[in-house]
Structure 1
Amino acid sequence: MKHYITIGTSQLGRMAPNTALNFLLSGIAILTMSTKKPSLSQLLIGSFLGTVIMGLGSVAFLGYLSNVEAAYGWGNLTKMAIHTSTGFIAVGLVLILEARYFSWQIQQKIPSVVLPLILSVLGFTITICLWQTLYATELYITNQHGIKTKNFVAEGILIFGGLFSIVIAIAVWFAIRSREQLEALRLAQAEILILNQQLEKMSYLDGLTEIPNRRSFNAVIEKELARACRYQHSIALILLDIDYFKAYNDYYSSPMSFVDFFGLWKDTSMGCPSTNHLGLLYGHQMGDYCLQQVAHTISSMAQRKTDMATRYGGEEFALLFPDTTLIDAKKIAAMTLQAIADLNIPHEKSKVSNVVTVSAGLSVCIPSLDTKIEELILHADQALYEAKAQGRSCIVTN
């Protein structure tokens, strides 16, 4: 067999020093990131060590491509093999990617400045290694007159490579910051859109009773009236008004003990309501609570998706039932009046009952092209006025 090693090295058969350095840096990087939950500083150290390893391997690999021995060998010591340099390029890259993976796994975001620093370290590592290579091999050149002059290519590589590394790092940092700002802007826009949707939804709900308000009612009745006209279906509207609600709000009972106060309300579905001070039975605070209970009961009557219960204004509510006959609408209205009476909300100032009751005006029609929303509402309102005139707590159909 004929030997193929022709390197005049002082340490024949020994590992190349740049190979040993890369193994040492690789071991430190792996040891640093080998904990169960590496910290951010450990990941940064691993990334920078991987960058240096990748830089040293890249310089050695470029040395083989350009046939510059000083790039993969240091003096007369053993040279790094080309497959070794290629392997360390891969090892350095894997270490960098592994640090990024760990940062994602532990949900710790690596600062945006890290990647520019990694690129600058890589650039400076390659630049310094190339400068050392050129400085060792081409320190002097001989001109046509046989005079040796200094070769400034190495110094030029050092200056240009250093500036280039800095510029690339700055450019990448600006690119990352721009992307982060665009992402933050996109998230802010999405959040604003969600907030706008929530605000729009809230604008269609009554703040006190949390059922649809008059604005929502106007939008729905217009759509349902047009649909009923198209398919020639009947549409029913019930307007309801709490009887003597102003008297309820204005009435205050004489002071009573807490035991009597609680005993008066413990059998009702409302439980014991809060008051401004002990002894107040009604008043505006209790009036609001009464509105909430009545609204909840009226809303429970809207069983279908197309049915709608709304607070029409003040103590007045509306029930809209598309594709509903007069008979069915009367049954629903009667059920509503009974359900509200069954709440047993005390009302000493009512002239029709000792509990809160409502009056109802009902209007049902099969609309034509000439039918207007105002007409349907007017008929229901007139029926409600007639119900009040007839003594309240009753239903009138118009």
Structure 2
Amino acid sequence: MRKYISLRFCVNFGAGLLLVLGLTVMFGWYTGSHQLIQINPQFVPMQFNTSLGFIGASLALIGLNNQYRKISLYIGILLVLLGGLTLTQQILGVNFYIDELFMKHYIVTDTSQPGRMAPNTALAFMFSGISLLVMSVKNINLNQYLVGIVLGALTMGLGSVAFLGYLSNVETAYGWGKLTKMALHTSVGFMATGLMLMLEARYLSLQIKQKLPILFLPLSLIVLGFTITICLWQALYSSQLYVMTRYGITTSNFVAEGILIFGGIFSILIAIAVWLAARSYEQLQALRLAQAEILALNQRLESLSYLDGLTEIPNRRSFNIAIDRELGRAYRHKHSLALIMFDVDYFKSYNDHYGHLAGDQCLQMVAHAINNMAKRKTDMAARYGGEEFVLLLPEANLTDAEKIVGITLKAIADLKIPHAYSQASPYVTVSAGICACIPQYETTVNDLIQIADQGLYAAKSRGRACFVAISS
């Protein structure tokens, strides 16, 4: 859930920055601010249509990230058209009059046609638009996520190459031939756009609970790495041809070949490293999940070990622990402690005549009635063995215990479980023995049980369906 929220925040934040970038450059065109349009007078201006493209891409990402898929779908179509028509103009040498449709351009530094965006800019918008289109459809599958991520990586790669070209002063990295060159802040915008598209694909996969294969991230890095590598190689190679053509100097550009070879190897190694790291993380998560399941199972088993399987109330083992603890506590605080032992009257006859299944049901009903008397957290009802039950009442005196036993016997009698073979009643009844005392130093658990058992024996001797209390 934390990852889900973080991804959503990152995409919304990144899309917000793209929106600010597009609006800032648009504001610069309207106000004549060269600094906002070019950053530096020697740099290429961001064309007005490019700023519109970034505004559209940001709104599409925000819409896709917040369940407004139709907005993303329509904007994606517009971005594809914008990039596609601009590329068509560059390739065929035609003019569709879209370059200055919204703004008459007055800055034409390194611009082949006023207002016309660079071909690598148009290509990046096409990639972004297709990625948005793919991820905006309903019932998206993993293959569509893959397309979205790969196109996002290509977009980020084109922006990264142009940005590196500005840093290294390699003009052919951000400009293709004599055509319009990509602006510096345009390259930064596409780096952010590509990254947001990849993050959005991950966010959407979490949103619909589809797990992306661990190969997706390494594959994205390979696409990004090879895009940067090939574009840089092409830029350096073009620069070499330019020098050779203009000055007649033939040189062996080992840097270009080196970037191509080592860039490709590095991209593959990085992808392998990320794949191994992702695989290790996935295995670690699986191990943690297994450990959590084992721990939960152990806790469940431990809990069951303290419950009686038939009646689902605490068993004798649990009772032994509780009475030992409460006896010590009663002695330390000089509190009274009451123990009640119950026995179902003539249960053997009931079992013999009604069957063991009916006997089990009878014990469950009796256990439930006795367990209802354990009102406080420290009280405990337990099955002592066979048809015998115990009720432990800390801080209860003899009067309290007698009152509770009277209520318990009546509750069981009111169940009206037929028992035609009982000599005490036509229904199932119980006898009870009570031990209530303020424990002394020499008092033991066995003493309490023995006294309660004596009371139970006395109740049976008196005809059953009654209780006898023995105070100690």
- 1:175 alignment partner, one of 277, 288, 291: 277
Distance in 1 separating the partners of 2:347 and 2:210? 60
Unaligned residue ranges in structure 1 (runs of 5+): 252-281
CA 1:19–1:341: 2 relative to 1, 3 Å: closer
Distance in 2 separating the partners of 1:358 and 1:239? 10
Offset, 1:77: 2.5
Offset, 1:141: 10
Does 2:449 correspond to 1:372?
no
1:1-398 correspondence runs (5 A): 11-13=112-114, 14-36=116-138, 38-138=140-240, 148=250, 150-251=252-353, 282-398=354-470
Q: How many residue pairs end up in the alignment?
A: 362
Distance in 2 separating the partners of 1:246 and 1:140? 107
Equivalent position SS for 2:458: helix
| Conserved? CA contact 1:242–1:359, under 8 Å | yes
CA 1:386–1:308: 2 relative to 1, 3 Å: same
| Conserved? CA contact 2:380–2:391, under 8 Å | yes
Equivalent position SS for 1:33: helix
| Conserved? CA contact 2:240–2:251, under 8 Å | no
Distance in 2 separating the partners of 1:395 and 1:163? 88
Q: Deviations over 1:340-393 (max 9, x none)?
A: 222222222222222222111111111012211111111111222222233322
Offset, 1:5: 6.0
Offset, 1:104: 2.6
Unaligned residue ranges in structure 2 (runs of 5+): 1-40, 42-105
Which range moved further: 345-354 or 113-122? 345-354
Which range moved further: 186-195 or 369-378? 186-195
Offset, 1:207: 1.1
Distance in 2 separating the partners of 1:12 and 1:58? 24
| Conserved? CA contact 1:140–1:148, under 8 Å | no
Residue type of the partner of 1:339? A
Residue type of the partner of 1:128? I
| Conserved? CA contact 2:432–2:467, under 8 Å | yes
CA 1:94–1:337: 2 relative to 1, 3 Å: closer
Offset, 1:213: 0.9
Offset, 1:202: 1.4
Distance in 2 separating the partners of 1:368 and 1:181? 58
Offset, 1:48: 1.1
Which range moved further: 362-371 or 73-82? 73-82
TM-score, normalised with respect to structure 2:
0.72
| Conserved? CA contact 1:307–1:320, under 8 Å | yes
Q: Deviations over 1:119-169 (max 9, x none)?
A: 110000000011112222236999xxx995533332221111111101100
Q: Deviations over 1:146-194 (max 9, x none)?
A: 9955333322211111111011001111111111221222222222222
RMSD over equivalenced CA pairs, Å: 2.4
Residue type of the partner of 2:422? S
Structure with more of its chain in helix, by fraction: 2
- Percent of aligned pairs with the same amino acid: 66
| Conserved? CA contact 1:116–1:169, under 8 Å | yes
- Equivalent residue, structure 1, for 2:95: none
Offset, 1:23: 2.2
CA 1:126–1:383: 2 relative to 1, 3 Å: same
Equivalent position SS for 2:435: strand
Equivalent position SS for 1:320: strand
Q: Deviations over 1:73-98 (max 9, x none)?
A: 22232322222222222222222222
| Conserved? CA contact 1:59–1:72, under 8 Å | yes
Q: Deviations over 1:232-269 (max 9, x none)?
A: 11111111111111111112xxxxxxxxxxxxxxxxxx
Distance in 2 separating the partners of 1:15 and 1:361? 97
Distance in 2 separating the partners of 1:377 and 1:61? 86
TM-score, normalised with respect to structure 1:
0.84
CA 1:4–1:201: 2 relative to 1, 3 Å: closer
Offset, 1:99: 2.0
- Equivalent residue, structure 1, for 2:67: none
Equivalent position SS for 2:136: coil
- Equivalent residue, structure 2, for 1:265: none
Distance in 2 separating the partners of 1:15 and 1:327? 95
Distance in 2 separating the partners of 1:363 and 1:26? 82
